[in-house]
Amino acid sequence: MSFLFDLMNIAANQLNSNSKPLKESENIAFTPSLDTVQQVDINEREFRRASQSKSERWTLRTPTKRDIVARLERVSAEDGLRLKQCCSAFRVLTCGTHPLRSYPTFRCKKLFCPDCAAERATRLGNQTEAKIREVMKTTKGRLCLLTLTTKNAATLDGGLVKLKKSFANFKRKKVFKEHIKGYFGAFEYTFNPKTNDFHIHLHLIVLRGKFWNQSDISDAWRDVTGDSFIVDIREIKNTHKGVKEVCKYPMKPADLMEMPDDKFLEVVKMKKGTRMFVSGGCFYNVKLDDDDAADDNIFSQFADLTEGDACPFCGDELFDVLVNRQQHIGLHELGSMPNVVKNNSS
Ligand SMILES: [Zn+2]
Ligand SMILES: [Zn+2]
């Protein structure tokens, strides 16, 4: 109902506005009507709120990104430039009022890039949650968050190899198979500036059959690691939050800034394609394509819209504009883009 109401309001406002004159033929083709406008169950108020929060997220990441770029430029000019260019310009699909879809013209896809890490966390989180919910329809068990830790490591690579090897042995143990029906997980790194080493751990979402208490898990984990026994298991009450915990940033930007140059470079130069996820059992099919960076859409319903389509809110024709990072933040802040003029509307 409110969508229709908003639509009528917009249509009425447009009659009084001559800010964007249209050719007569265009005017007829894109007059809002229920036949030409794609139906979405999002009203204008929801759209504005989501747009505002998108703007806040990009604003929040901007100073962090600037700091990392500045530091990276000092140790590796080439990597610094790539990071600087990442998400510095955007293509936005808009009717002139509603910024519906946007995508950066270039993404570095580095794990330490605050923009790309956030995009990845959101995308992987959504994919994972959908797949886990699907599996849970047919497989019974308790969804738990299991965290496995290892002793601090001097190098990231060395620590990661050790943790991966330990987990490979752990999941082969009889006691693991007896309790865990499926698992999906991601590695996370933190850095301790006092001891100058990395703390690497594995967050797993597991589907637990039989109850498995923490001290037994700890004993089994010590068996395979030899020296590490700190584990944590807790039931996941909210699947969305649980998945988010696992799919979050692999490393906090604050940690990155506290590293001495050699450690900082080690993270920056980490091999592309270093495997960050593990999965098995009933969650074996929770496979994630980590190569594909998605658009930064506010609503997935807009993902199929393209130039020439009608705006779902006002019915105006959609077109692409190129904006810089600051403009991109600004137009989402308003939830509208009054100053953007269609390039080819002479
Ligand atoms: Zn990036
Ligand atoms: Zn519109």
Place of tokens 């940690």: 255
Backbone φ and ψ of 320, nearest 5°: -95, 135
- pLDDT score at 150: 92
99 alpha carbon to ligand 1 midpoint, in Å? 22
- CB of 287 closer than 8 Å to CB of 160: no
Q: Which ligand is nearest to the CA of 30?
A: 2
Contacts of 165 (CB under 8 A, 6+ apart): none
Question: If you average pLDDT over every residue of the chain, what do you get?
Answer: 82
pLDDT at 15: 35
Identity of the residue numbered 179: H
Contact 204, 145 (CB under 8 A): yes
Ligand with minimal distance to 335 CA: 2
Q: What is the 3-state secondary structure (H, E, C) of 103-138?
A: EECCCCCCCCCHHHHHHHHHHHHHHHHHHHHHHHCC
Q: Is the pLDDT of residue 18 over 60?
A: no
| Residue 205 CA, distance from chain mean position | 18
Confidence of residue 285 (pLDDT cuts 50, 70, 90): low
CA of 346 to the centre of ligand 2 (A): 20
Q: What are the phi and psi torsion angles at 294 (to 5°)?
A: -90, 170
pLDDT the model gives residue 131: 85
Query: Distance from CA of residue 324 to its chain's centroid?
Result: 21
pTM above 0.85, yes or no: no
CA distance 76 to 92: 31
Give the pLDDT of residue 295.
66
Question: Which of these, 296, 268, 274, lies nearest to 83 by C-alpha position?
Answer: 268
- Mind listing the pLDDT tens digit for each residue in 204-233? 999 999 999 999 999 999 999 999 889 999
Contact 265, 75 (CB under 8 A): yes
Ligand nearest to the CA of 309: 2
The strand pairing partners of 4, in sequence order, are none
| CA–CA dist 285, 245 (Å, integer) | 20
Residue 189 in this model has a pLDDT that exceeds 50 = yes
Cα separation, 186 vs 111, whole angstroms: 13
pLDDT tops 90 at residue 23? no
Nearest ligand to the CA of 64 is 1
pLDDT at 287: 61
Higher pLDDT, 195 or 37: 195
What pLDDT does residue 247 have?
85
Q: Which residues surround ligand 2, an ion (CB under 5 A)?
A: 95, 97-98, 311, 313-314
